[in-house]
Amino acid sequence: MNDVLDVLKLRDLRIRARVIVDELLSGIHPSRRFGFSPDFAEYRPYTPGEDVRFVDWKVYGRTGKLYIRKLYEETSMKSTILLDISASMGYGNPSKLEYARTLAASMAYLLHLQRDAVGLMTFRDRVESVLRPSRGRKGLYSIFETLERVKPGGRTRTDTPLLGAINLLRKGMVILISDLEADVEGMMKVMGGLRRRGFDAMVFHVLSSEEREMPSGGSFLFYDMETGETVPFNAYTSSREYRNVFRNWLDELRREFLRRGVDYYTVFTDTPFVDVLRSVRAMRGGP
């Protein structure tokens, strides 16, 4: 079920997430990770004084060296998904928010399968809800239930929730899902600060497929869903200019994020969800 609209016909977010992740994992060994935890290693050298019960003696028999098999608590990490639920996320058919919350549910489910602790923060110009990172089904289902209830409204502000994520995690991953209708310069500074403090960070820039192109022919009024302001637009003279500005804007965002060590993904609402997760795997060296 690779088509976005087919997936969104499934009413239950839990089912959507499982369908998407099952397709991603199809044909891939289930013990492999997907690049969300770059520090993963199956073994680490034995340190004198540690409990020898955790030594892998089979490895010692083959290599003559002492190694400890890492427990998953050592290899797992904490991740917080930051979901933008501001008014502008309500735009499009399907809406950016409908797409974004399905993507968030899928990522939470995938991280859960990796035995990572995963949490959720929803925000607009303020933080709306916080679920601290946790492992297990109870925490995962709480994320699904919160995502089911979200509705778009209010203006966007990303620096406050990003700073809030720092208080949730000593280190770990921050996953921002937003249309970035905010103070991008301020957000960039905070994201760069997260990286300098040892956080892993990725951004999913969710855009409606309708935002790629302007309507052809005629004059229109653009309505800002967050401020209520309107701007006149003449499609005859401005469509080509719009495409150029739009493309340059995305290129500039990508360069600035990558310069700060933040993984950046442009995601349109007609992009199959499994393709988004595969692109993450490819960028992060997954199988």
Domain locations along the chain: 4-29+77-283, 43-73
Backbone angles phi, psi at 43, to 5 degrees: -130, 160
DSSP structural state of residue 87: G
Return the number of other C-beta atoms located less than 10 Å from residue 281's C-beta: 18
Average of pLDDT values for 233-250? Answer: 72
Q: Is a pLDDT exceeding 70 seen at residue 33?
A: no
- Position 90 scores a pLDDT of 94
Q: How far, in Å, are 37, 111, 113, 125, 277 from residue 283 at the CA level?
A: 13, 17, 20, 31, 10
Average of pLDDT values for 260-270? Answer: 92
Residue type, 242: Y
- The SS3 call for residue 82 is strand
- Distance, in Å, from the CA atom of 142 to the CA atom of 104, rounded to the nearest integer, reads 13
- Position 40 scores a pLDDT of 37
The domain defined by 4-29+77-283 carries CATH number 3.20.20.140: no
Q: How far, in Å, are 14, 106, 197, 208, 211 from residue 7 at the CA level?
A: 11, 11, 37, 16, 21
- Position 227 scores a pLDDT of 56
The answer to which of 45-49, 104-108, 233-237, 276-280 has the lowest mean pLDDT is 233-237
- Looking at mean pLDDT, say which of 5-19, 149-163, 186-200 comes out highest: 5-19
Q: Is a pLDDT exceeding 50 seen at residue 159?
A: yes
The more confidently predicted of residues 242 and 73 is: 242
- Distance, in Å, from the CA atom of 108 to the CA atom of 200, rounded to the nearest integer, reads 16
- Distance, in Å, from the CA atom of 155 to the CA atom of 18, rounded to the nearest integer, reads 32
User: Residue 206: which residues within 8 A CB-CB, separation 6 or more?
Assistant: 89, 96, 99, 100, 103, 177, 178, 179, 267, 268, 269
Average of pLDDT values for 124-142? Answer: 91
Q: Is a pLDDT exceeding 90 seen at residue 49?
A: no
Average of pLDDT values for 8-35? Answer: 78
- Position 148 scores a pLDDT of 96
Average of pLDDT values for 131-159? Answer: 91
Q: Angle at the Cα of 241 (from 238 to 247), degrees rounded to 5?
A: 135
**Which residues, listed in sequence order, are joined to residue 234 by a DSSP beta bridge?**
219
The predicted-structure confidence for 70-129, as pLDDT tens digits, reads as follows: 544 444 678 999 999 999 999 999 999 999 999 999 999 999 988 889 999 999 888 899
261 sits in the region (left: phi over 0; alpha: psi -120 to 50; else beta) called: left
Give the β-pairing of 43-45 and 67-69: antiparallel
Nearest CA to 127 out of 165, 167, 161 is that of 161
Model confidence at 164, in pLDDT bands (50, 70, 90)?
Answer: confident
Contact 18, 108 (CB under 8 A): no
Q: Is a pLDDT exceeding 50 seen at residue 223?
A: no
**Which residues, listed in sequence order, are joined to residue 125 by a DSSP beta bridge?**
none
